[in-house]
Amino acid sequence: MTSRNQQLFEQSQRLIPGGVNSPVRAFRSVGGTPVFFKRGKGSRLWDEDGKEYIDYVGSWGPMILGHAHPEVFAAVQKAAENSLSFGAPTALELEMAELISTLVPSMEQVRLVSSGTEATMSAIRLARGYTGRSKILKFEGCYHGHADSLLVKAGSGALTFGQPSSAGVPPELAAHTLTLAYNDNAAVEQLFEQMGSEIACIIVEPVVGNMNLIVPQNDFLNLLRAQCTKHGAVLIFDEVMTGFRVALGGAQALYGITPDLTTLGKVIGGGLPVGAFGGRRDIMNCLAPLGPVYQAGTLSGNPVAVSAGLATLKLIQTPDFHARLNQTTHQMVQGLVNSARNAGVTFSGQNVGGMFGLYFSASCPDSFDAVMQSDKEAFNRFFHAMLEAGIYLAPSAFEAGFVSAAHTAEDIAATIAAADNIFAHW
Ligand SMILES: N[C@H](C=O)CCC(=O)O
């Protein structure tokens, strides 16, 4: 009998390209039918066929409190009663800007947008406008949303489908995007030596979550800071994924580095579409209406979305929130690593706070090349076996996973037990 998931996917493919509204949802690299979800509560999801899952995708990061948190829901309801949108300033967005500036002090000024892509795209334009330079530097396998300048050697879905650069990006524009290997200090130094005065900015995921999970090594982030300062380039930390997740103050607080600009998304909207970019006042003052860099948005600072974000940000400030999230995530990852080791399966894993990476390789990769060498077929097999067991992992070997505060000891034990069973029959 055809399941409702399958029926919905067949119908969707007729009306929506690939049947999905974002490519990574399509299960293309892992194969099979994407799951159509109907309901979520805490750490759990239910699909259209009524099957229950423990969720480690968390809507790709925003659901740090789990699904349908009552306080977030109440805040949304209250805001919605006053109107869904004004297209004008509100006290709520001021409250959000104040909170962001307090939690992420490098963000002296903030502008709200509606997605991570808008945040990074705007930050790049601002960096170019501020410096009067055109070239930008990004790192292979890092993904900063789908704006033209940033879809060059990109991670996430672009990498999952084997096309890390996109058709439709004019070559003349892509030529302004320079790419180097993440964690390659010598290459960065050499590039800045050769053409530092032409580079407007470096944009980097301080912990990469779009080519699986890669952590910065050998003082990489410090080196980026030093090179930008020396050559007058703007350092942009793309904290869309890491912001409020790896630590309350994001990766910049965890590693003690101050970027010039920061981009935020995901957790800041608590599951509704909010993004933000911000940083040094002198740079932010180049934005219209004060300065010559134009950036705008009809729904920017939307009151309903901002209220979900504010409620979420308030709840994650409770003492030990991030320490507990880190501990839960670490226990889950180590459980899977032990389970594979006991069965003699080549597997590794690591986490930074509530973000984790699982790899079918002997050790955790530290570069794009190392990730590419991991066993993708083994990942796909593991993914499907876990899905069958009711554990929902990201449907790609190139995406980080996420744990929420709603994940319980029972969830972790059930996840490890599922992996024990899978690896025992590997
Ligand atoms: N890695 C992407 C965002 O962070 C996954 C979400 C998407 O592209 O739909």
Tell me: the pLDDT tens digits for 252-263? Answer: 999 999 999 999
50 CA distance to ligand 1 centroid (A)? 25
Q: Which of 143, 255, 359, 392 is catalytic?
A: 143
Kindly indicate whether the ipTM for this predicted assembly is greater than 0.85, answering yes or no.
Answer: yes
Q: Which of 47, 55, 184, 238 is catalytic?
A: 238
> CA–CA separation, 201 vs 184, rounded Å?
17
**pLDDT (0 to 100) of residue 90:** 98
**Residue 178, beta-bridge partner list:** 137
130 CA distance to ligand 1 centroid (A)? 29
The pLDDT of residue 292 is above 90: yes
The pLDDT of residue 409 is above 80: yes
Q: What percentage of the chain reaches a pLDDT higher than 70?
A: 100
Residue with tokens 């103050």: 249
CATH level 3 topology of 70-315: Aspartate Aminotransferase; domain 2 (3.40.640)
Residue 182 annotated in active site:
no
Which pLDDT band holds residue 358 (cuts at 50, 70, 90)?
very high
171 CA distance to ligand 1 centroid (A)? 24
Condensed to tens digits (0 to 9), the pLDDT of residues 29-86 reads: 899 999 999 999 999 999 999 999 999 999 999 999 999 999 999 999 999 999 999 9
**pLDDT (0 to 100) of residue 45:** 98
**pLDDT (0 to 100) of residue 157:** 81
The pLDDT of residue 227 is above 80: yes
**pLDDT (0 to 100) of residue 159:** 79
5-15 average pLDDT score: 96
Residue 238 annotated in active site:
yes
**pLDDT (0 to 100) of residue 57:** 98
DSSP summary character for residue 146: S
Residue 170, φ and ψ in degrees, nearest 5: -55, 130
Task: Take residue 386 and report the two structure tokens written for it.
Answer: 């876990």
Q: Which residue among 143, 211, 264, 371 has the greatest number of ligand 1 atoms within 8 angstroms of its CB, and so is best to mutate?
A: 143
Measured from the CA of 266, which atom of ligand 1 is nearest?
4
**pLDDT (0 to 100) of residue 62:** 98
Handedness of CA 403, 220, 123, 162 (dihedral sign): negative
Least confident of 2-6, 190-194, 324-328: 2-6
**Residue 52, beta-bridge partner list:** 46
Atom 4 in ligand 1: residue holding the nearest Cα: 60
Q: Which of 266, 359, 392, 411 is catalytic?
A: 266
Compute the C-alpha angle 267/273/278, nearest 5°: 65
Q: Are strands 234-238 and 199-204 parallel, antiparallel or unpaired?
A: parallel
Cβ burial, residue 29 (10 Å; 0-12/13-18/19+): buried
Measured from the CA of 210, which atom of ligand 1 is nearest?
1
Atom 2 in ligand 1: residue holding the nearest Cα: 156
> CA–CA separation, 13 vs 24, rounded Å?
15
The pLDDT of residue 130 is above 90: yes
Could you tell me the residue ranges of all domains in the chain? 4-64+319-424, 70-315
116 CA distance to ligand 1 centroid (A)? 10
Strands (E), 32-101: 37-41, 44-47, 52-55
Atom 1 in ligand 1: residue holding the nearest Cα: 156
Q: Decide: helix, strand or coil at residue 401.
A: strand
**pLDDT (0 to 100) of residue 411:** 98
Mean pLDDT across the chain, nearest whole number? 96
The pLDDT of residue 164 is above 80: no
128-134 average pLDDT score: 98
The pLDDT of residue 301 is above 80: yes
Q: Decide: helix, strand or coil at residue 217.
A: coil
62 CA distance to ligand 1 centroid (A)? 11
For domain 4-64+319-424, which architecture applies? Answer: Alpha-Beta Complex (3.90)
Q: How far apart are the first and last CA of the chain?
A: 29
Ligand 1 in reach of 399 Cβ (< 6 A): yes
> CA–CA separation, 326 vs 247, rounded Å?
9
403-421 average pLDDT score: 98
From the list 361, 365, 354, 359, the residue with the least C-alpha distance to 405 is: 354
> CA–CA separation, 377 vs 313, rounded Å?
38
**Amino acid occupying residue 11:** Q
Which pLDDT band holds residue 158 (cuts at 50, 70, 90)?
confident
**pLDDT (0 to 100) of residue 1:** 62
Residue 148 annotated in active site:
no
Rounded to two decimals, the pTM is 0.97
